[in-house]
Protein backbone atom coordinates (compact mmCIF):
# COMPACT_ATOMS: atom_id res chain seq x y z
CA UNK A 1 0.00 0.00 0.00
CA UNK A 2 1.43 3.36 -1.06
CA UNK A 3 1.75 6.01 1.65
CA UNK A 4 0.24 9.43 1.00
CA UNK A 5 2.53 11.92 -0.76
CA UNK A 6 1.91 14.48 1.98
CA UNK A 7 3.11 12.42 4.93
CA UNK A 8 4.69 15.44 6.68
CA UNK A 9 1.99 15.24 9.35
CA UNK A 10 3.30 11.77 10.14
CA UNK A 11 7.03 12.63 10.26
CA UNK A 12 7.06 12.98 14.04
CA UNK A 13 5.67 9.48 14.43
CA UNK A 14 8.61 8.17 12.39
CA UNK A 15 11.18 9.40 14.94
CA UNK A 16 11.98 6.85 17.62
CA UNK A 17 12.54 8.10 21.19
CA UNK A 18 15.17 6.12 23.11
CA UNK A 19 15.00 7.25 26.77
CA UNK A 20 18.50 6.29 27.89
CA UNK A 21 21.35 6.31 25.41
CA UNK A 22 24.73 7.50 26.70
CA UNK A 23 22.96 9.43 29.43
CA UNK A 24 20.55 11.38 27.20
CA UNK A 25 17.22 10.95 25.45
CA UNK A 26 18.15 9.95 21.90
CA UNK A 27 15.90 10.88 18.98
CA UNK A 28 16.50 8.19 16.35
CA UNK A 29 15.76 9.20 12.75
CA UNK A 30 16.45 5.79 11.19
CA UNK A 31 12.73 4.82 10.98
CA UNK A 32 12.04 8.09 9.14
CA UNK A 33 14.96 7.48 6.76
CA UNK A 34 13.74 3.93 6.09
CA UNK A 35 10.33 5.21 4.97
CA UNK A 36 11.07 6.42 1.43
CA UNK A 37 8.05 8.74 1.25
CA UNK A 38 8.72 10.38 4.61
CA UNK A 39 12.45 10.76 3.86
CA UNK A 40 11.58 12.31 0.50
CA UNK A 41 9.04 14.63 2.17
CA UNK A 42 11.60 15.67 4.83
CA UNK A 43 14.12 16.71 2.20
CA UNK A 44 11.38 18.40 0.14
CA UNK A 45 10.22 20.46 3.16
CA UNK A 46 13.77 21.63 3.83
CA UNK A 47 14.40 22.28 0.13
CA UNK A 48 11.18 24.27 -0.24
CA UNK A 49 12.25 26.51 2.64
CA UNK A 50 15.68 27.20 1.10
CA UNK A 51 14.85 27.04 -2.62
CA UNK A 52 15.64 30.31 -4.41
CA UNK A 53 17.96 31.54 -1.65
CA UNK A 54 21.54 32.42 -2.47
CA UNK A 55 23.39 29.27 -1.33
CA UNK A 56 26.71 28.05 -2.74
CA UNK A 57 27.34 25.05 -0.52
CA UNK A 58 25.81 23.00 2.29
CA UNK A 59 27.97 22.09 5.27
CA UNK A 60 26.96 19.19 7.52
CA UNK A 61 28.48 17.47 10.52
CA UNK A 62 28.95 13.70 10.68
CA UNK A 63 27.24 11.34 10.80
CA UNK A 64 23.46 11.78 10.58
CA UNK A 65 23.90 15.35 9.38
CA UNK A 66 25.60 13.94 6.27
CA UNK A 67 22.46 12.04 5.32
CA UNK A 68 20.22 15.10 5.47
CA UNK A 69 22.78 17.59 4.19
CA UNK A 70 23.95 15.58 1.18
CA UNK A 71 20.39 14.79 0.08
CA UNK A 72 19.43 18.45 0.42
CA UNK A 73 22.52 19.62 -1.49
CA UNK A 74 21.57 17.27 -4.31
CA UNK A 75 17.96 18.52 -4.29
CA UNK A 76 19.05 22.19 -4.36
CA UNK A 77 21.86 21.63 -6.89
CA UNK A 78 24.62 22.99 -4.66
CA UNK A 79 27.91 21.60 -3.35
CA UNK A 80 28.33 19.62 -0.13
CA UNK A 81 31.11 19.93 2.47
CA UNK A 82 31.53 17.37 5.25
CA UNK A 83 32.67 18.36 8.74
CA UNK A 84 34.30 15.37 10.42
CA UNK A 85 35.74 14.34 13.73
CA UNK A 86 39.47 15.06 14.02
CA UNK A 87 41.70 12.65 12.13
CA UNK A 88 39.09 11.48 9.59
CA UNK A 89 39.91 13.80 6.67
CA UNK A 90 42.94 13.13 4.42
CA UNK A 91 43.97 16.68 3.44
CA UNK A 92 45.19 19.73 5.38
CA UNK A 93 42.48 20.73 7.83
CA UNK A 94 41.28 23.49 10.11
CA UNK A 95 39.95 22.16 13.41
CA UNK A 96 38.01 23.36 16.43
CA UNK A 97 37.49 21.84 19.88
CA UNK A 98 34.19 22.54 21.61
CA UNK A 99 32.12 21.35 24.55
CA UNK A 100 29.07 19.19 23.89
CA UNK A 101 26.33 18.26 26.37
CA UNK A 102 28.30 15.36 27.81
CA UNK A 103 31.90 15.65 26.52
CA UNK A 104 34.39 17.69 24.51
CA UNK A 105 34.86 17.02 20.81
CA UNK A 106 37.12 18.22 18.01
CA UNK A 107 35.83 18.67 14.49
CA UNK A 108 37.65 19.58 11.30
CA UNK A 109 37.13 20.56 7.69
CA UNK A 110 39.55 20.68 4.76
CA UNK A 111 41.23 24.08 4.66
CA UNK A 112 40.12 24.59 1.04
CA UNK A 113 36.53 23.34 1.53
CA UNK A 114 35.00 26.80 1.71
CA UNK A 115 36.10 29.78 -0.35
CA UNK A 116 36.14 33.27 1.09
CA UNK A 117 32.72 34.86 0.63
CA UNK A 118 30.88 31.63 -0.20
CA UNK A 119 27.27 31.50 1.00
CA UNK A 120 26.95 28.52 3.34
CA UNK A 121 23.84 26.73 4.57
CA UNK A 122 24.49 24.61 7.67
CA UNK A 123 22.30 21.51 7.92
CA UNK A 124 22.15 18.92 10.68
CA UNK A 125 19.71 16.24 11.74
CA UNK A 126 19.05 17.63 15.22
CA UNK A 127 19.32 20.84 17.23
CA UNK A 128 19.77 20.09 20.93
CA UNK A 129 21.84 22.54 23.00
CA UNK A 130 23.43 24.11 19.91
CA UNK A 131 27.08 23.38 20.74
CA UNK A 132 27.86 21.37 17.61
CA UNK A 133 26.24 23.81 15.19
CA UNK A 134 27.95 26.75 16.94
CA UNK A 135 31.29 24.99 16.33
CA UNK A 136 30.33 24.49 12.66
CA UNK A 137 29.54 28.21 12.39
CA UNK A 138 32.97 29.04 13.82
CA UNK A 139 34.72 26.74 11.33
CA UNK A 140 32.84 28.17 8.35
CA UNK A 141 33.54 31.75 9.41
CA UNK A 142 37.21 30.95 10.14
CA UNK A 143 37.52 29.92 6.48
CA UNK A 144 35.80 33.10 5.30
CA UNK A 145 32.40 31.62 4.50
CA UNK A 146 29.16 33.47 5.18
CA UNK A 147 26.50 31.49 7.04
CA UNK A 148 23.19 32.33 5.32
CA UNK A 149 21.01 29.87 7.20
CA UNK A 150 20.88 26.92 9.57
CA UNK A 151 18.42 24.06 9.15
CA UNK A 152 17.48 20.95 11.06
CA UNK A 153 15.27 17.93 10.60
CA UNK A 154 14.49 17.96 14.36
CA UNK A 155 14.65 20.66 17.03
CA UNK A 156 14.49 19.88 20.76
CA UNK A 157 12.94 23.19 21.85
CA UNK A 158 13.19 22.29 25.54
CA UNK A 159 17.01 22.48 25.31
CA UNK A 160 16.94 26.05 23.93
CA UNK A 161 19.60 25.53 21.24
CA UNK A 162 18.46 28.64 19.36
CA UNK A 163 19.70 30.72 22.28
CA UNK A 164 23.19 29.23 21.84
CA UNK A 165 23.10 29.89 18.09
CA UNK A 166 21.89 33.46 18.56
CA UNK A 167 19.56 35.67 16.56
CA UNK A 168 22.17 36.56 13.95
CA UNK A 169 21.38 33.39 11.96
CA UNK A 170 18.07 32.38 10.41
CA UNK A 171 17.23 28.98 11.92
CA UNK A 172 14.61 26.54 10.61
CA UNK A 173 13.43 23.07 11.64
CA UNK A 174 10.66 20.82 10.35
CA UNK A 175 9.98 18.71 13.48
CA UNK A 176 9.94 20.22 16.99
CA UNK A 177 9.67 18.63 20.40
CA UNK A 178 8.62 20.78 23.36
CA UNK A 179 9.70 18.27 26.02
CA UNK A 180 11.54 14.96 26.43
CA UNK A 181 8.31 13.01 25.96
CA UNK A 182 7.85 14.29 22.42
Catalytic residues: 64, 101
Q: How distant is the alpha carbon of residue 155 from its chain centre?
A: 10
Q: Tell me how far apart the alpha carbons of residues 143 and 111 are, in angstroms, rounded to a whole number.
A: 7
Distance, C-alpha 82 to centroid of its chain? 11
DSSP β-bridge partners for residue 2: none
Phi, psi for residue 135 in degrees, rounded to 5: -65, -40
* Three-state secondary structure of the chain: CCCCCCHHHHHHHHCEEEEEECCEEEEECHHHHHCHHHHHHHHHHHHHHHCCCCCCEEEEECCHHHHHHHHHHHHHCCEEEEEEECCCCCCCEEEEEEECCCCEEEEEEECCCCCCCCEEEEEEEEECCCHHHHHHHHHHHHCCCEEEEEEEEEEEHHHCHHHHHCCCCCEEEEEEECCCCC
Amino acid sequence: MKKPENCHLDLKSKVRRIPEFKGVVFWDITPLLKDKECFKQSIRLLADHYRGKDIDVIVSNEARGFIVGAALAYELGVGFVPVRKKGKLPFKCVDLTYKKEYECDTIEVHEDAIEKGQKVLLIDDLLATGGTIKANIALVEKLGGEVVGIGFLIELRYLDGRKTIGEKYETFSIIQYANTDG
